[in-house]
Each structure stands twice: as structure tokens, then as C-alpha cells.
Amino acid sequence: MTAQSNLRDAGVPSRQIGGFITIVAATAALGGLLFGYDTGVISGALLFLKGAFGLTAQMQGVVTSAVLAGATVAAGFGGWLADRFGRRLVMLVLAVLFVVGALLSAIAGTVSALVAGRVLIGLCIGVVSFVAPLYIAEVAPPDRRGALVSLNQLAITIGILVSYVVDSAFADSGAWRWMLGLGAVPGMVLAGGMLVLPETPRWLIKQAREADARKVLLRTRSADQVDHEIQEIKADLLLEHQALGWKAFLVPAMRRPLTIGVGLAILQQITGINTVIYYAPTIFQSAGFETAKASILATAGVGLVNVLMTIVALKIIDRAGRRALLLTGTAGMAVSLAVFAAGYAFGGALPGFRWIAIASLMAYVGFFAIGLGPIFWLLISEIFPLGIRGRAMGAATIANWGFNLLVALTFLQLLQSAGPAATFLIYAALSVIGWFFAYRLVPETKGRTLEQIERFWVEGRPIKEW
């Protein structure tokens, strides 16, 4: 290191460090924006794709699920990619592929070209959905990690809201090519950003590039924390060497975080969030908002609540802690869903019901946004030991997308066969199960370094002692 950089390093004011780290995290979170936009945009585009390609109901299902299926598959090898080639390079390549996928879908002349474009986007989403939070968690200082990683969830919700707005803006002209193609814009910005952002210190040290890691740490921490953090990461890596590749997953100390990560992944989806995110207009129409316009407006309202409550979560997550938010959020989801279901069962035909429907669904989405939404993605970036982090996050992400696909495929059928009251009551019951799962198993990770968290697993500490 040069004397000049020494001087600069010792003197970087903390405000400047804070600003830099926020820019790094916000840029990486564009991955979340793409995730939200590309999963949200299809509901509106579908109306016109039907006409343009003469899609049967079955083919509509294929076009809609193409992204989810691609994401499920890609999450399987994304972890390996991130461990092997580094988080930054993977993010850069993904950003370029996002642009290609968006343009392919936008110019598609046949259904197969369209599906190919959507599958490509799905593959990218599957990987970005966890490499972005992983990247941020590894660059962030412990005391701001919760908020910084959750920027990614905020970006997801903004992406969903923007997709609703874009869909309704192009609805009159039916310009579906624009709806799908606009996803290329954040893709380009992300690619530009990843060209200049640094690799994460943890991954660099794993590659024996300590000098490079030190440079990154000096830009993202105050100088007095750097040596300590490097030592911690190294100690962590020593532990990793004692573990044996994939067999590491079977060691008891790893089993607990894996159960939590995969369990929360499944719970995040089977409590029904995407039935609302993907099908809100349909739900609102059946609840009494007759015109398409009214139900689209109601849907935009849901999207807005999702964004606003995620901002609330971001503000308090590093103080209130993960557990408190998760438990409050999941309890609130259960109650709101039960109210929605009871409203349907007892007053579905009454004129006032639609207001109960909209209020309870908004409350449900709001509670998701302060709990399971951000906290699932945050916890899976925190709880896994470094040696298996990439692959373990991959496993949790596969479960998340796989169950997302499952719920998307079964929801409409469930609605038809069991009716709305029973369907939403099932999601309410699953939220109750989710609450007990979180209460019994999920530890508090706020303010701890990733290395401390790892040591807690190895020591086998009970949740209460965290």
C-alpha cells in the first residue's frame, strides 16, 4: 500500500464511507428492481399477448410461469457460480443477460421466441434474487447490514409497482412490446454500475487476495475496524477448511441454519403473497370492483402499500431486530387473511364487502412487507457460514422459487374448487404455522458480524441466548 493511500485510508470521513456503501448497495439492489419488474409486468401484458399470439389458457400459464420455472432452475447453479467466479462478475454477466432477455421478449415474433426470452429472464432472476443480497451483506458493515440488504427488497417492491404503472400506462394502446422491453433499462444501469463496483472483501480473502480485500474494507469501514474484520474472515475460512465440500451441509451446526433458510423460503411463498401480487386485479374484480380500471387502481394501491411498508421496515430493522418484525408481520398476515376469508364467507355478496376486501388485503401486504418479505432475504444472507454461503442461499432460493411456482400454478384451481373463503383461510392457517416456526427457530442476528453468527451455530447456542 502506498503512503498516499495510507493517509487517505486513515482519513476517510465516516460520512463519505456511509455514502459510498449506500451507493454500492443501491446499485446492486437494481437486481431486485429487475426481479420485481419482470415478475410483476406479465399480469398486464398477458391481456394483449393473448390476442397477439392467440394464446390458449394453457399457453398463458406457460408464458406466466416461464420466469418462475427459469428462476427455480437457475437458483440451483447460481450459488456455485457466485462461489466460483465471485459475486461481482456474476452480477455483471446477469445484468447483460437481463438486457438481452428483455429485448428478445420485446421483439418476439413467435410464442417460442417469447417463452425463450422469458425463460432467459427467469434464469437471471433466479440467480440475482440471492446474489444481490449476498453481495450487499458481504460489503455492508454489521450495524447497517439489515437496512442495506433490505434495500434489495425495497427495490423488488418498487419494481412491482413500476410494472403496474407501466402496464396501465400502455394498457390503452396495448403496447405489450414496450411493457416487456422497458426491463432493459435497469439492466443497462446495473451493468454499468457493476463495472465500477468492487468485489466483496470476503470473497477476495477466500481467493487469497487480502490486499484487494483490504482496499475494499477501507472504503466501506472506518480504518480501525479493518484489521479486526480481516482476522475474523480468516478465522472463518479456517473453519471452512475443516468442513468437507457438500458434506458440510450435513454437519449439525449447518443443519440448523439450513432448516431456517429453507423453511422461511417455503413459508414466504405458501402464505400466499404472490396470489395477491400476480392476481390482485382478478381478486378485486371478484370482490366487487367491477370495472377493470377500478381493480387496476386497487392493485396499484396494494403495490404502493408494499413499497411504503418496506420503507418502514428498512428504517427500523437494525433497531427493532429481525425477530420482532418477523413475528409481528406474520401474526398480522394471519389476522388480515382470516378477516378477508371471513368477509367472503359471511358477507361476500354485500355491497360493503369490497371495502373490507381491499382493507384486509392491503393490511396483509403491509404486514408481509415489514416481516417475511424483507426478513427472509436478509436472514438467508446472514445465517449461513461462509464456506457454504453461496450454495446454501442457492438451496433456500430454489425452495422459494419452486414454491412460488407451485402456488402460482395451483391458486386459480384452488379458487375454483374450494372458493375464495377456504383458499384464503388456508393461507391464514399456513401463516399461523409460519409464526410458530419463526418463534421456535429464528435467532436474532441484528448488530452481529457474520462471523459471530457462524460461531453461534458451531457452539450450538439455543435461540434464547443469541
Does 373 participate in binding ligand BGC (rule CB under 6 A)? yes
Contacting residue, 273, 280, 341, 357, with ligand BGC by CB under 6 A: 273
Reduced DSSP (H G I as helix, E B as strand, rest coil) percent helix, strand, coil of the chain, to 5? 85, 0, 15
Does 277 participate in binding ligand BGC (rule CB under 6 A)? yes
Residue closer to ligand BGC, measured from CB, 404 or 423: 404
Stretch that binds ligand BGC, among 172-180, 194-202, 226-234, 267-275 (CB under 6 A): 267-275
Does 153 participate in binding ligand BGC (rule CB under 6 A)? yes
* Closest CA relative to residue 265, chosen from 129, 361, 424: 129
Residue number, nearest CB to ligand BGC: 373
Q: How far is the CB of 125 from ligand BGC (least distance, A)?
A: 10
Three-class SS of 65-113: HHHHHHHHHHHHHHHHHHHHHCHHHHHHHHHHHHHHHHHHHHHCCCHHH
* Closest CA relative to residue 279, chosen from 344, 361, 355, 181: 361
Judged by CB under 6 A, the number of residues near ligand BGC is 14
Does 33 participate in binding ligand BGC (rule CB under 6 A)? no
Residues 407-446 interacting with ligand BGC (rule: CB under 6 A): none
Q: Are 67 and 104 in contact (CB under 8 A)?
A: no
Contacting residue, 43, 150, 295, 404, with ligand BGC by CB under 6 A: 404
d(CA 292, CA 274) in angstroms, rounded, equals 20
Does 41 participate in binding ligand BGC (rule CB under 6 A)? no
Residue 447, Ramachandran bin (φ over 0: left; ψ between -120 and 50: alpha; else beta) = left
**Please, which residues have CB within 8 angstroms of residue 303's CB and are 6 or more apart in sequence?**
40, 157, 160, 161, 164
Task: Supply the DSSP string of 141-161, one letter for each residue.
Answer: -GGGHHHHHHHHHHHHHHHHH
Q: How far is the CB of 134 from ligand BGC (least distance, A)?
A: 15
Stretch that binds ligand BGC, among 181-189, 268-276, 292-300, 338-346 (CB under 6 A): 268-276
d(CA 181, CA 141) in angstroms, rounded, equals 36
Does 66 participate in binding ligand BGC (rule CB under 6 A)? no
Residue closer to ligand BGC, measured from CB, 86 or 332: 332
d(CA 108, CA 106) in angstroms, rounded, equals 6
Does 157 participate in binding ligand BGC (rule CB under 6 A)? yes
Stretch that binds ligand BGC, among 161-169, 210-218, 270-278, 285-293 (CB under 6 A): 270-278
Cell for 263? 423453511
H/E run at residue 172:
none
d(CA 273, CA 315) in angstroms, rounded, equals 22
Residue closer to ligand BGC, measured from CB, 157 or 220: 157
Does 274 participate in binding ligand BGC (rule CB under 6 A)? yes
Does 163 participate in binding ligand BGC (rule CB under 6 A)? no
Stretch that binds ligand BGC, among 197-205, 218-226, 232-240, 272-280 (CB under 6 A): 272-280
Does 64 participate in binding ligand BGC (rule CB under 6 A)? no
Does 306 participate in binding ligand BGC (rule CB under 6 A)? yes
Q: How far is the CB of 372 from ligand BGC (least distance, A)?
A: 7
* Closest CA relative to residue 357, chosen from 428, 286, 416: 286
Residue 321 φ then ψ, to 5°: 90, 160
Residues in the site for ligand BGC, rule: CB under 6 A? 39, 153, 156-157, 160, 268, 273-274, 277, 306, 373, 377, 400, 404
